[in-house]
Chain A
Amino acid sequence: MSTVLVICEKPSAAKRIAHALDDNGAPTEVKRRGASYFQCRNGEDTLLVAYAKGHLYELRQVEKGWTYPRLDVEWAPKYEVVKKATDTKAIIALIRSLAKRADQFIVATDYDIEGSLIGYLVVKYACGADPSIAQRMIFSALTDKELRAAYASRAQELDFQLVEAGHLRHEIDWLYGINLTRALTLAIKRTAGWFKIVSTGRVQGPTLAMVAARDQEVNQFVPHPFWSIDAQGEWDGRELHLKYSKDRIDTVHAAEEVVRATHGQVGHVASVRTRVMTQKPPVPFNLGGLQTEAYRHFGFKPSRTLALAQRLYLDALISYPRTNNQQIPESIDVRSVLHGLSSMRAYKGHASALLSRRVLQPTQGKKTDPAHPAIHPTGETPSRRLTPSEKRLFDLIVKRFFALFGPPAKKKSVRADIVCNDHTFYLRGREVLEPGWIEFYRPYVTSEEVEVPGLTEGDEVRLTRVRAVEKYTSPPLRFNPASLLKSLEKENLGTKATRAGIVDSLRSRGYTLNDRFELSTLGYAVFETLQRHVPRLLSVEFTRSLEEEMNMIQEGKRTREEVLVRAKEDLREILSKFKSLESEIGNELVEGLQRFWREKEEVGPCPKCDDGTLMIVRSPKSGKRFIGCSNYRTGKCDKTFPLPQKGNIVVLDKECPYCGHRMLRITSKRRTWETCINWAECPGRAEELRALEERRATRGAKG
């Protein structure tokens, strides 16, 4: 008879694990001084199921002082490093006291580098035990069945390669992030005396460089003109919309020549070709795939998708989401998953249709991950009411899972070529012959059908209208959160768990202006300074090579010490170069910051006086903000505009279509709206303001 301490990653996971491992499925929650654990019986053993709340230990520098370089670090309780993390104190104290009663330790955190490291640190520091005696439960879903199996077949030792990889990743990210951020921040402080945190990091630098390169392309873009031919024909009394054989015509003369030669003329159907194609189902979701699809259909940012997926995982509705795998292994009982889904009204039809098949073979993707399968539903029914966003993501995951088992879709494409005076026009039609998997994946896939009339070779088609349309080439698309995440994945920068946070960090640090990843003046200042003096920090290759070395630890090909020594040497070299150029770097950053702040405040030229500039200012008396003219101080101009008092204001590079005044974008909490600075008197808003007054009057009358 043993007392076993089971260490979980989160309270909700602990509850599920305790429920699954208790013989009666009814563990007791014991609360003690702001924390709790679950006690259960498992055969002869008593299990004490405790939880962390993510990391309970954080790295901190050994030597004191807010300066750089600081290259020696140690693990410390999180509440000593992060002031706000006070709740971790009670948890660590509880685990420490439970460890005294335990004679066995099992780590049951998520099976990845973070989870393995969390478990290791708890065993080592909170339990004060030797990690080599701890055991490991490995699972990919929090269902009772899988958890019981994971307990029964638990590994006799921790996954030390994952622990080492996680340990090193934390150390390197800390060393680079803290030292480089301090180097930038102190360069500003020593130059101008301001304390403004300007950050960069190992992955953040190359990400910033990618965004900057795209932003430059867009800002330096000059469109080229080209022409396309818009044509209409008539056949058997029906109007046909035709396309010209060339998408683009380079010169206006060539385009006019096509019009002259074909407008009002009769063409002949030269050929009608039919092609039948099959389209295989999409591959199973890995995290990147899910994030891209969720952004496409729901506009969820990658970090939001990850958070929602994590909640669904903790509710045992889906498998572990932080996976790179695009395959559903044979070990997963897909039939039982489908059985589970068939008990939900929304999925009964499709699940039953699939269950009626004798063979269920899912489509597989190329990417693999030995730790976890592709993201899939577990077949469990939600035990609580899901939020609308959770519901949407769950639906996407379930329908994608269904689609994997669907037969290929069969589509027919028809192309009819019509030749008129040596110019070829064509008509293309599409038809879905057999929807196959498309049926299962709706509404996340659309199959647009275009009918083609029954033209036959030799038929006459009168070209009733042919005109040349002048068009222009488009600039490259700016990144959005999903496309930036995809680029990071492609470049092998960061991990599946960290990429979403890196994407968000560019915005939260003020380096980009909006979700279109337009670089701010501050973003440019940091990018330019690093590019000029320490370009290695922006280099994808440098970060990627470090990333590859870290992966080698996971595979047991390198040791943590070897990689750490090299990474520290590189960093020391970078920091010493930084120090020697500190005043130059400081000057450039200060110039950039001044530009950034000026741009944030400057609205544009004053419409009242000749040479004044409208600025966002605060009243020294009331503290309220408004727009005023820079000539106010000299008594030359008193033009002002009111401003909303709450929210973040961004001056836009466009004018109001109604009154011609400069436009602003205001973001307050979750709401974002655009208005002109003249909003109180703008004719475009007259209706809106009247309605607002009426609403206020009605509310006043009721009150």
Chain B
Amino acid sequence: MSRECSICGRRCEDEDELCPYHSGALENLKEAFVKWKHSLGVSWDEYLERLEQLDTVGRWVKEVIVYLKDREQNVDPTAARVGTHD
């Protein structure tokens, strides 16, 4: 039995934590960060903050941002950070 997406409850592929839609949104989020960093020199956290304010950000991307932030808050501060953004 495959896992359920931590965000929407849809089925995940293999051992993924997120469904293909939210995984795709996370991928786009990571890819776009490279451009944002080049354009504005922002940090990952600043990047997420700024995206949250923009209306044109996709619905699933916004849900991924909330998910990442929640996880960040609940995780042991000594543990590794979520994602591979830095």
Contact = CB atoms under 8 A, between A and B. Distances in A.
Interface of A: 216, 218-226, 250-252, 472, 474-475, 528, 588, 595, 653
A95 B59 CA distance: 58
Contact of B57 (A221, A252, A528): A221
B21 A219 contact: yes
B44 interface: no
A145 B85 CA distance: 75
Contacts of A472: 54, 56
18 contacts: A216-B21, A218-B58, A218-B59, A219-B59, A220-B24, A220-B28, A220-B60, A222-B29, A222-B32, A224-B35, A225-B35, A225-B36, A225-B39, A225-B40, A250-B38, A251-B38, A251-B40, A252-B40
Contacts of B9: 595
* Size class of the contact patch on chain B: 20 to 34
B61 A220 contact: yes
Contacts of B60: 219-220
Q: Counting chain B CB atoms within 10 Å of each CB, which of A223, A224, A588 scores highest? A: A223
Nearest to A250: B39
B25 interface: yes
B51 interface: yes
A224 B32 contact: yes
Q: Counting chain B CB atoms within 10 Å of each CB, which of A219, A472, A588 scores highest? A: A219
Contacts of B32: 222-224
A474 B39 contact: no
A221 B28 contact: yes
Contact of A220 (B25, B38, B39, B51): B25
A220 B56 contact: no
A216 B54 contact: no
A219 B61 CA distance: 7
B58 A220 contact: yes
A472 B39 CA distance: 11
Interface in B6-51: 8-11, 21, 24-25, 28-29, 31-32, 35-36, 38-41, 51
A220 B21 contact: yes
A475 B39 contact: no
Nearest to A216: B21
A219 B25 contact: yes
A222 B11 CA distance: 23
Contacts of A252: 39-41
Given A216-B24, A653-B59, A223 B54 contact: yes
A588 B4 CA distance: 12
Nearest to A470: B40
A475 B60 CA distance: 13
Contacts of A653: 59
Given A216-B21, A223-B56, A472-B56, A251 B61 contact: no
Contacts of B24: 216, 220
Contacts of B54: 223, 472
Contact of B36 (A218, A220, A224, A595): A224
Given A222-B29, A475-B56, 20 more contacts: A216-B21, A218-B58, A219-B58, A219-B59, A219-B60, A220-B21, A220-B28, A221-B28, A222-B28, A222-B31, A222-B58, A222-B61, A224-B35, A225-B35, A226-B39, A251-B38, A252-B39, A252-B40, A475-B58, A595-B8
Contacts of B21: 216, 219-220
A653 B28 CA distance: 22
A525 to B, nearest CB: 10
A222 B65 CA distance: 11
Contacts of B31: 222
A218 B36 CA distance: 19
Q: Counting chain A CB atoms within 10 Å of each CB, which of B31, B39, B40, B51 scores highest? A: B39
Nearest to A254: B39
A251 B36 CA distance: 9
A216 B21 CA distance: 7
Contacts of B56: 221, 223, 472, 474-475
A225 B41 CA distance: 11
Q: Which 4 pairs between the two chains have the least Cβ-Cβ distance?
A: A222-B32, A221-B58, A219-B58, A219-B60
